[in-house]
Chains A and B, each alone.
Chain A
Amino acid sequence: MRSNSQQLYPPFLVRILSVWYRHYKVYTKSLISNGLPPFLEPLIFLVGIGLGMSRYIHEMAGISYLSFMATGLPMTSAMYTAAFECSYSTFIRLEFDKVYDGMLSSPLSVSDVLLGEVLWAGTKGLFFSFAVVLVMACFGFIPLPAGLLAPFVGFLTGVMFATLSLAITSFVSNINHFNFYFTGILSPMFFFSGVIFPIENLPAVLRYAAEAFPLTHAVRITRDLTFWDLKPTLLYSLLYIVLFTLFTGWIAWKRLGKRMIY
């Protein structure tokens, strides 16, 4: 029965990739307006921080301040792109454009649709963090070739924020509620995950909160890999990312499934 039904519709990987392909098609349709900003943003940042702030702060946690931030920014870039993709965009596809309804009238399941979504957000995380690494490496703030490992962590970060954002989306009935998510959750994460300054010297309460932020672990892995400073805590951070992704992904799958098929 099982082998029989496997021939009756496309295999798992083809289904996931077909959802990915839809998003890829939409994204590459406006290549310039979608593909250029990821490279422009780190440039603007370099001008702003490089010419401005780094005159006052030269060093952070033993490395130059620009290198410190340059190794954190690929992850915030991956975080924001995945979060936008799987909150506002997902909500629009779910409620307004009925893109998922279309997919569910073809041989795709709810899991296929959601996994394709997560895979696409991971891909965007990879691409966006790669753009930042490339710009920063050009100016010598990220060492190569170790810096080229950062986009892979960017992929994991994209996946992790995709599942988190999908889980948040599953609770949202009005698109404006995402403002709370971005202001209340992602902005604090941007400031307290060791991107702008190290979290090690924060007051205890904030320190624990910062350790619980998933972005902290992504940034830690990126920085340690980039400067090739491998420590056992890397494995702990990786485990945290995996568990966080599985947990939020499970919530998203449970709850969004009920919104798509009822």
Chain B
Amino acid sequence: MRSSEYENIIKVENVYKTYKNGTAKAVAGVSFSVTPGVCFGLLGPNGAGKSTMMKMIYGVSYRDGTPDSGISVFGHDPGRNALPIRFLSGIVPQENNLDEELNVEQNLKVFCRFYNITGSQAQDRISELLSFMELSEKQSFGIKQLSGGMKRRLIIARALLNNPRLLVLDEPTTGLDPQVRHLIWDKLRRLKRQGMTILLTTHYMDEAFQICDSVFIMNKGKSVAEGNPQQLVNKHIESYVLEVYSKESFSVISKNVTEKCCRVDDDGADVTRIYSDDYERLREFSKQLTGGDFYLRQSNLEDLFLKITGSRLNAQQ
């Protein structure tokens, strides 16, 4: 039991989740494992079941009691024994839940108590983390005075109070400006270098590319792809994509874009995406288009994501 605990920090096996008033399963037979020191990303559109999966991992949501299913985090089942898991992990929930009746420092002080960190030890830890998250000057601010980015950074600081071995972040940078997102990625990379295991959810592909060693793409409660982000892109997606922003422009080149040379995705409303490994060919097409109405670029995880989850909205989004 001890050895398996160290092979995988998290092991999820064949997990299902049905909400009482829900008709569809939020999570439908998901399995994955997270090894120590890795940054593991759960990707998927809104409603894919990412948050539900996260909540089951730190024990604030119960999985269905289907046979052969199980979750183990640090060797503990979060459905039965969540406290040791939450003692060893820092949790950053999707929804900000800072205590608005307390200021920045008091928020952290109260949370220190939850971990049984008191006195000067708590004080040291608080100033250390406020400076790490670049919030030192905000120490006595009320929560309502903080911007969205500051709140998010404070919640991350709060999650780090007990020197966690695992950091769980549910959409850490949703709705934040580019500067804050880069700051948060920078901090997460630094924590990872210190040996921390990180599990995060996101629907931003650049985020996954920036910090994840391994991604797990979910759609409608199921796993659809898993692996290293770069390798996934190389394996499933052509190297280049020409995006054409109107149907009129596309009609200029449509007769030349044959199925043999390229893959065409015109699922979206106006944008047509032409995928190919042949950069020169795509450049030839682009020359026939008026400037500004197209964009020729390398393909990325977003293209993979759109390919496998479909570019149209589904009912859960």
Query: Which one of A14, A17, A98, A105 lies within 8 Å of B91 (CB-CB)?
Result: A105
Instruction: Evaluate contact between B88 and A101: CB separation under 8 angstroms.
Output: no
Instruction: Evaluate contact between B99 and A99: CB separation under 8 angstroms.
Output: yes
- Find chain B residues with CB under 8 A from A236 CB: none
Contact indicator per residue, chain A 65-88, by CB within 8 Å of chain B (1) or not (0): 000000000000000000000000
Q: List which B154-170 residues lie within 8 A (CB) of chain A.
A: 159
Docked Cα-Cα span, A107 to B97, in Å, equals 16
Instruction: Evaluate contact between B83 and A260: CB separation under 8 angstroms.
Output: no
* B285 close to A (CB within 8 Å): no
Contact indicator per residue, chain A 15-37, by CB within 8 Å of chain B (1) or not (0): 10110011001100100000000
Given contacts A105-B58, A262-B61, contact A9 B87 (CB under 8 A): yes
Given contacts A22-B110, A101-B97, contact A8 B83 (CB under 8 A): yes
Instruction: Evaluate contact between B115 and A106: CB separation under 8 angstroms.
Output: yes
Instruction: Evaluate contact between A21 and B113: CB separation under 8 angstroms.
Output: yes
Residue ID in chain A nearest B103 by CB atoms: A29
- Find chain B residues with CB under 8 A from A26 CB: 99, 101-102
Query: Which one of A15, A101, A262 lies within 8 Å of B95 (CB-CB)?
Result: A101
- Find chain B residues with CB under 8 A from A25 CB: 102, 106, 109-110
Instruction: Evaluate contact between A5 and B84: CB separation under 8 angstroms.
Output: yes
Docked Cα-Cα span, A10 to B98, in Å, equals 22
Instruction: Evaluate contact between B114 and A108: CB separation under 8 angstroms.
Output: yes
Instruction: Evaluate contact between B115 and A104: CB separation under 8 angstroms.
Output: no
Query: Which one of B19, B81, B83, B95 lies within 8 Å of A98 (CB-CB)?
Result: B95
Instruction: Evaluate contact between B116 and A106: CB separation under 8 angstroms.
Output: no
Given contacts A18-B113, A103-B114, contact A8 B88 (CB under 8 A): yes
Instruction: Evaluate contact between B88 and A18: CB separation under 8 angstroms.
Output: no
- Find chain A residues with CB under 8 A from B96 CB: 98
Contact indicator per residue, chain B 26-53, by CB within 8 Å of chain A (1) or not (0): 0000000000000000000000000000
Contact indicator per residue, chain B 214-243, by CB within 8 Å of chain A (1) or not (0): 000000000000000000000000000000
Q: List which A22-64 residues lie within 8 A (CB) of chain B.
A: 22, 25-26, 29
* B245 close to A (CB within 8 Å): no
Categorize the interface residue count of chain A: 20 to 34
- Find chain A residues with CB under 8 A from B159 CB: 105
Residue ID in chain A nearest B109 by CB atoms: A25
Residue ID in chain A nearest B158 by CB atoms: A102
Instruction: Evaluate contact between A9 and B20: CB separation under 8 angstroms.
Output: no
A-B contact pairs, 5 of them (CB 8 A): A5-B84, A10-B87, A101-B95, A102-B99, A105-B93
- Find chain A residues with CB under 8 A from B185 CB: none
How many residue pairs bridge A and B at CB < 8 Å? 90
- Find chain A residues with CB under 8 A from B115 CB: 10, 106-107
* B111 close to A (CB within 8 Å): yes
- Find chain A residues with CB under 8 A from B206 CB: none
Instruction: Evaluate contact between B60 and A260: CB separation under 8 angstroms.
Output: yes
Residue ID in chain B nearest A110 by CB atoms: B60
Residue ID in chain B nearest A104 by CB atoms: B60
* A109 close to B (CB within 8 Å): yes
* A261 close to B (CB within 8 Å): yes
Docked Cα-Cα span, A107 to B82, in Å, equals 8
Docked Cα-Cα span, A8 to B88, in Å, equals 8
The 6 A-B pairs at the shortest CB distance, nearest first, are namely: A105-B91, A98-B97, A10-B116, A106-B114, A18-B113, A8-B84
- Find chain B residues with CB under 8 A from A262 CB: 19-20, 61-62
- Find chain A residues with CB under 8 A from B106 CB: 25, 29
Query: Which one of A10, A29, A101, A104 lies within 8 Å of B102 (CB-CB)?
Result: A29
Q: Which of A9, A98, A260 has the most CB of B within 10 A?
A: A9
* B273 close to A (CB within 8 Å): no
* B128 close to A (CB within 8 Å): no
Instruction: Evaluate contact between A102 and B97: CB separation under 8 angstroms.
Output: yes
Docked Cα-Cα span, A262 to B61, in Å, equals 5
How near does chain A come to B27, taking the closest CB pair, in angstroms?
A: 14
Docked Cα-Cα span, A99 to B111, in Å, equals 11
- Find chain A residues with CB under 8 A from B81 CB: 5
How near does chain B come to A108, taking the closest CB pair, in angstroms?
A: 6
How near does chain B come to A51, taking the closest CB pair, in angstroms?
A: 39
* B86 close to A (CB within 8 Å): yes
- Find chain A residues with CB under 8 A from B95 CB: 98, 101
How near does chain A come to B166, taking the closest CB pair, in angstroms?
A: 13
- Find chain A residues with CB under 8 A from B266 CB: none
* A200 close to B (CB within 8 Å): no
Instruction: Evaluate contact between A18 and B99: CB separation under 8 angstroms.
Output: no
Contact indicator per residue, chain B 197-227, by CB within 8 Å of chain A (1) or not (0): 0000000000000000000000000000000
Residue ID in chain A nearest B111 by CB atoms: A106
- Find chain A residues with CB under 8 A from B83 CB: 5, 8-9, 107-109
How near does chain A come to B143, taking the closest CB pair, in angstroms?
A: 10
How near does chain B come to A54, taking the closest CB pair, in angstroms?
A: 41
* B100 close to A (CB within 8 Å): yes
Docked Cα-Cα span, A99 to B106, in Å, equals 14
